[in-house]
Structure 1
Amino acid sequence: MTQAYWNEWLWAGITNYKGQPRNDEYTDRLSMKASEFGWDWELTCPLCRRGISQLSREIRDISDSLDYHHWSTNPDQGITLCRECHDIIGFGSYDNEVEKRAHEWGFRSRNDLQIIRLALREAIVTDRPVRLEMAADLVNRYNLIQSSGEVKELLKVVLRDSDLYDRFVDNSLYHGFC
């Protein structure tokens, strides 16, 4: 139960007195505490489920392995993902480029596109199809600002239109799982 609490706390992005995420400091601190208790605990990315030790082998600087993804800055709401998952759900682009793409594709904002990418990656990681019923789990697991109903509507739009669906799918979604 304590380990689940730590994971949830870290994924949501622990902040300093200025409200800036500082996950690497707490990751190290909680890892040391878990070791003192003899627990086999390791922070994992909530999306790809890879542990911090695996990420640190793949990325030179451990502080580069975690990244806080903002769904909203006012109020601050987001989730800490590994750097790779953060980049994958954002199409490996800057927010303003994803925002432009969202409008070109008929969506409200970049968050809509990122949520769809999140759902697609979640389906790949868990080896399950994208389903409308996963909306509530996505909202809870990834601290989304949208309601389950809004997420369900986004998934409906993409699942109904195969051409649109194909715009979201690229090889990066499968990285580390094929």
Structure 2
Amino acid sequence: MTHRATRQQEVEVIDGRRFRDVLGNFPTSVVAITTTDAGERPHGMIVGTFTSVSLDPPLVSFLADRSSTTLRTIRDAGRFCANALAGDQERLSRRMATGPARERFADTAWEASPLGSPVLDGVVAWVDCAVEQVVEIGDHLLVVGRVHDLCVESLKTPLLFFRGGYGDYLSSTALLLDRLVGWDEIGR
């Protein structure tokens, strides 16, 4: 038996629950992928797989389940905006991840990006993209976007997902700087 065959057999015996439990120990960003349909109604979903792909040309990507209706809308529109959610946007993330599609933007302010996709109020940053390529990978589709515009909106801490729960990120460097400047003493 070859090494490759042995590795393939090992992958086949990995239980789905174990897979999720172990990978839950890798913190991920929480990103709202947004677009609008032909009627200019907003659509969105939450992903933890947003990443940069290339600097030249500027490309980013995310993974989406094949059954995603939002993904169908993104493919039809040919564009999307990746919104890096802030630490105080957990409720929005939960609504966009699990709520009915028609309620995902309830009480959520947004403005159109240069390409026309929703940029959500209060996010850390956004990246406006045209769909460059969609690749089938397992039970998901990899969506690659060509970046047309991007912006840092705030200095808020980002929302993260880790071990099945939400949290935000605060660097130890920021804590050290706050102590040096004396900001950690404010409010005590």
TM-score, scaled to structure 1? 0.28
More strand by share: 2
**Structure of larger gyration radius:** 2
More helix by share: 1
TM-score, scaled to structure 2? 0.27
